[in-house]
Structure 1
Amino acid sequence: MQETVLITGATSGIGIELAKLFAADGYRLVIVARDVMELAATAQMLREHYTANVEIFAKDLFDPESGFELYRELEAQGIKIDVLVNDAGQGQYGLFVETDVRRQLDIIQLNISSLVVLTHFFLKDMVAAGRGKILNLSSIASKVPGPWQAVYHGTKAFVQSFTEGIRSEVKDKGITVTALLPGVTDTDFFNKADMNSSKAVQDKDGMADPADVAKDGYEALLRGDDKVVSGFKNKVQVALNNLTPDENAADQMKNFQEPVDEEKNNGQD
């Protein structure tokens, strides 16, 4: 029987690469994003290249009600989800006191609240069925405090802890819950976060390929792993962070993420 996967944030970055992997393996896809035109183009590509069965749902997961609406619409159409991929997420770059707090609240809604709503409803269905898989997009940002992206790092720390918690709750019910922890990846995340001036994104050659990250996450999901840190460099960074006091790790991250121009100005003082 053909299984169905739901992927949020499926029109770009890691999300679209995951969609390609599922399509290549014969899954029916339910793809979710805000822009209906981008969804339509993504669906057409998946159908043409993989002969995939694709359903599109245009939902703005910054809206607190969108997750509830999406579940109700799928339920009304009789679409059962076997695999849930919570990929959608955003950040905002800048010192916390200087950022737009309403935008930060929107990011919390997208990265945390909508993920929790979708996981709650689809996990209930999976428990009832006695089978299912969930992949949550965490980040190596979940493992260290994040000056210049304090809210984003905080949301990913929540996602990581939440994923580990519910995994333990359902591990004897035929369901696996996996966290994918990428590092700096070549996606549109940094443009959306207004982060292109950060030292962290200056080394374009050092950015991970989203296709490689997606492959790591996809294979870990199929194995039923609890988590996967994508990329050797990121594995080393996470290991070092585990040995570093939080205050020092935060200061190191502040230096890593501060704007390039500020670093130059500091050198001239």
Structure 2
Amino acid sequence: MGNEKILSGRIAVPEEFQEVFSHFYFAENNSEGTITQTLLPSYQTIMIFIFGEKALIHTQNDASLEVEKSIVLGPVKKAFDYSLPAGSKILAANFKDDAFYRFFGPAAISENLPVDSDSLLDENCFTALWNRLAGIEDQERQVECILEFCRPYLRNRNPVVQQLIELNTTAYSPIKEVAGDKKQTERAIQLTHKKHLGYSAKEIMRFRRFLKAVQIMQTIAGRASKEDWFEIIEQCGYYDQSQLINDFKHYINLSPSRYLKLQCSICSPLE
């Protein structure tokens, strides 16, 4: 999206990397003041590069963290705010499924707590990468640079995780199904799921229900009648309206109706 204040958008990933990154996101503050936006949870790990003025990430305990060059967040399980001062630019790589593990090891590195990206590897290679990116003006060329940089670090996917990823969107109980197929205990499969993906199968099922509700709500923005709310509850598998409200409070600390009013200042993983 673009307006006089902020220029932002998504950059698609080449076919070679579609198993690794869902997309890249960029934003640039062209106004004279600081712009604050909310990022919805995505259950992805995100590596963010900052150029120009330092960005601010507002943590859940109401503290603010200045970020000068790069930071890692994730898996992002709850919404958080970030601020871009005038002249600040960001480029975010959104890791898909087990991709972060395949690069760096255990996926649940930080939940919503930021991590210095250079701490992920023995060398300060991300500082060197940032220096290269800072000399490139075009965002698509920056993405090409990142993809070329990361290619040597990617490891093969664990076959058990491959099966879990495939079943997470179709099976009612992926853990039980994979455990039976692989002749392992459900506990062992649960641990593998958490280690490689950074979240449990139960967590991702709840999140996908919430995400479906958000997607439907984006189509009814501006009207949201009583009938619309019942349609969301039924289509997404909620027991009642209170369960729907509880999920919105859990993930973004807003009621569904409040979310509809604030959509313009919220960055959705669906966009």
TM-score, reference length from structure 2:
0.28
Task: Kindly indicate which of the two structures has a greater share of residues assigned to helix.
Answer: 1
